[in-house]
Amino acid sequence: MLNVELGKSLVAYWGFSEGEGKYVHDGSRRNPIHYVFNDRSDSPIHEPQWRKGINNHALLFDGYSTWVESKEGVPTIEQAFTIEAWLAPRSFGGIEDERLTGIVNQHNRKMNQGFILGVHRHGEWSLQLGVEDEWIEVWADNCPLPKLKWSHLAASFNGKEGRIQLYLNGEKVAEKTIAQNVSMTVSHDALLIGKSNDALTIESVFSLNMFSGLIDDIKIYNRAFNDSEIKTSFTNYLLPYKGEIPHLPYEEIAIDRSIYDHDPFRPKFHLTPPGHWMNEPHAPLYFKGKYHLFYQHNPQGPYWGNIQWGHWVSDDLVYWRDLPIAIETEADDLAPDGIWSGNAAYDEDGLPVLYFTAGHSSKKPNQMTGLARSTFREDQDIDLKKWRKHPVPVTVQPKGLGLHHDGFRDPFVWKEEDLWYQIVGTGIEGVCGAAIIFTSDNLVDWECKGLLYDDKDQEFPFLGEVWELPILLPIGKGKHLFIISPVGKDADVEVFYWIGRWDKQHCRFVPDQKEPQLIDVGDFHFTGPSAMIDPKTDRLLLFTIAQGRRSIKDEYEAGWAHNGGLPVQLRLRDDGRLGVKPIEELIKLRKKKLVSLENQSVEESNDILANVKGNMLEICVEFQNAVAIEYGVKVLKSDRGNVETLLYYNRQEETLNVKKKTNDSNPVQSQGGELLLNGEQLKLHIYVDCSIVECYANELKSITTRAYPEIEALGIEVWANDHIKVKSMEVWEMGPGF
């Protein structure tokens, strides 16, 4: 270990050896660990997350709510200091800003005071400090920190000799010479570990310059170490590991989804990220007996931004496993500012490839499409955990077509015979949304074939300025299904579709009727479409995001935001209309059958339902002999009836609706849309999963909504405003999908 003289120069030491609790010690001083779930009864983990470290234990920083605070700060380091720490980043954040994510800092940048040792958005790292009214920065330019691995960082400041040095794993990686006989200007801010004193914020809720990952053994000395002393300190740490930095198992640093097990509003059998933020699921594929689904994910926290591709895998589309992030942003010239939505296809050998939206803020337009290939040829990993990006974009926005300045995204690729087709969501500047189409014979070189479809006649203003997430797939009987999600001015952000003809010769889609239709009438709770033809069953499967619709503060406190909808099958019905229904495999989630009744009145049915409670349910009900104009089912109902979610049909207006009461003081919330039964009896297929409710009516329309009721609101009730018969009703408890 270091000699006695060096030990005497140690002025602060956080060993993180506690392994439990809400405090970490610096000698006799006890510093609090801030953590969103401290003292929360709705989480099984009521204290910060501790893991195995380099030296005993380490603290896991979640990237948005975990930090250590020392109000005393560090004394006597004005003229010289050395900082060393072990850390394993989980993610870096995506802030396009000069500010660092704080590893350890006590600084005021505006006043040129104090110091910060921190990391930037792609693993670049730096020591910065205020010296004689000047802000000094030293960067390890060519030595970014690796994710998911332990690294030893050291930084030294020698004011007398005018030298600042940085070290990674015992080796010097940067040095800067400044004026001699200078001192650091002291900051009187609190010393923070894992958070910056000068963080960028979102609505005063999220601090963005937060560390995500493991930190262990931070030491601060009041003298500058030389190269040999840094090397000795590093190698001494590795003596128990035979001189090698120990391997860090992924499970030790991954987001732990069990943290949210007791959250009454987090869905359990719907698709959820392990934690933090997700946007739409996308790029479904089937390969060697496994289904893969990716999703827009921010591993830093439950807020929008820093988007990477999360990854799930399943044997049956029902039970899923979390896998590491599939493709992520890097400090490259392809997609440093976001890996946005796309889809999956297959290459010449039938191996999976991913197409994604490459975000590059410094370019105009700032969106392109990129390609990533599986490493399966090399590693034979059927979980497809590793992907290699093509180094340059494969398609860029064509010039001369007047396309939207901020709309070229969400590629959808498929193959017919020896030719691949790619459609991309876009718009015509100042006119309408559109989808553009390209062809290729090699997956990399693409030729623009013009617009696949557009709304140049401006007949439907609710289709917005840009069409996101375009999908074109065969649906049977010589027809194709074209799906979009509009955004921009006046857009109704939902999932619209047309049924029509794919004119392959002219690369155009020709709809049977111009007016777009809705799959779901739930008003923004069913968005973000992606789809595939399942090679195993030939079904057209659709995946969506179920928007959470909560405040940013609620999402901070929950630790997660949004989830996927249930996988559904789309088909062309005999009457020419689109059919939509949940996939049959979901019956695997059924547990105990709670109700089975036939030919009962509303009153008789409710007598049977009186003692049935639950917020993880599947309900199938069919009505007949309707005199009532309105009838349906209430779920998540309180005993007082002041809280409930009513799913019902209006026979006179021919609409499927939801009406929600949240408490006595808030107004009733309603939404709905057209449902033409054409003489069929109403059949409702309802899924209740904590805060999400999905209802499918006669395999024609769905309505998706969110509810955050009182925890005790667990009741079910059949409802009608006049006479009606319940022909049949079955209710099951449902189990989790992860």
- Give a three-class secondary structure readout of 182-201: CCECCCCCCEEECECCCCCE
Compute how many other C-beta atoms are within 10 angstroms of the C-beta atom of residue 146: 12
Domains of the chain are 4-251 (2.60.120.200), 281-584 (2.115.10.20), 589-734 (2.60.120.560)
Asked if 703 and 657 touch (Cβ cutoff 8 Å), the reply is yes
Q: Which two tokens stand for residue 690?
A: 């904590």
Q: Please say if the pLDDT value at position 43 is more than 90.
A: no
Is the link from the previous residue into 281 a cis peptide, with omega within 30 of 0?
A: no
Q: What is the mean pLDDT of residues 499-524?
A: 97
Phi then psi for residue 151, to 5 deg, are: -140, 145
pLDDT tens string 382-398: 999 999 999 999 999 99
Total number of residues shown for the chain: 738
Q: Using pLDDT thresholds of 50, 70 and 90, give the confidence band for residue 4.
A: low
Q: How far apart are CA 22 and CA 306, in angstroms?
A: 29
Contacts of 501 (CB under 8 A, 6+ apart): 478, 479, 480, 509, 510, 512
Beta carbons within 10 angstroms of residue 76's beta carbon: 12
End-to-end Cα spacing for the chain: 46
Average pLDDT, the chain: 96
pLDDT tens string 101-147: 999 999 999 999 999 999 999 999 999 999 999 999 999 989 999 99
| Contact residues for 20 (Cβ-Cβ < 8 A; gap 6+) | 47, 50
Task: Judge contact between 433 and 409, C-beta under 8 A.
Answer: no
Instruction: Report how far residue 734's alpha carbon sits from residue 155's, in angstroms, rounded to the nearest whole number.
Output: 54
Q: Mark 15-45 as b/e (b = at least 16 C-beta within 10 Å).
A: bbebeeeeebebeeeebebebbbbebebbeb
- Strand pairing class (276-287; 560-561): parallel
Contact in structure between 450 and 436 (CB atoms under 8 Å): yes
What are 464-475's pLDDT values in tens digits?
Answer: 999 999 999 999
Please state the pTM of the whole predicted model.
0.96
Q: Binning pLDDT at 50, 70 and 90, where does residue 162 land?
A: very high
Q: Pairing between strand 568-572 and 540-546?
A: antiparallel
Q: Which residue has the tokens 């027809």?
A: 479
pLDDT of residue 1: 44
pLDDT tens for each residue of 588-643 = 999 999 999 999 999 999 999 999 999 999 999 999 999 999 999 999 999 999 99
Adjacent-strand bridge partners of 104: 117, 193
Residue predicted with more confidence, 332 or 43 = 332
| Residue of 270, 319, 326, 318 whose CA lies nearest to 296 | 326
Alpha-carbon gap, residue 386 to 324, rounded angstroms? 9
CB 103 within 8 A of CB 215: yes
Strand partners, 285: 292
**Helix residue ranges per DSSP H, 210-262:** 227-237, 250-253
- The continuous run of DSSP H or E covering 5 comes out as helix 4-8
The confidence score (pLDDT) of residue 238 equals 98
Q: Which tokens hold the place of 79?
A: 């003229």
**What pLDDT does 42 receive?**
62
Which residues 6+ apart lie within 8 Å of 182 measured at CB? Answer: 131, 132, 159, 162
Structure tokens at 541: 């499967």
Q: Is 96 left (phi over 0), alpha (psi -120 to 50) or beta?
A: beta
Contact 421, 438 (CB under 8 A): yes
Local structure of 147: helix, strand or coil: coil
Q: How far apart are CA 100 and CA 94, in angstroms?
A: 11
Residues 154, 162 contacting (CB under 8 angstroms): no
Give the pLDDT confidence of 676-708 residue by residue, as tens digits: 999 999 999 999 999 999 999 999 999 999 999
Q: Beta strands of 37-146 (E only): which ranges?
A: 49-52, 57-62, 67-70, 80-91, 101-108, 113-119, 125-131, 134-139
Q: Are 549 and 541 in contact (CB under 8 A)?
A: no
**What sign has the CA pseudo-torsion 572, 574, 578, 583?**
negative
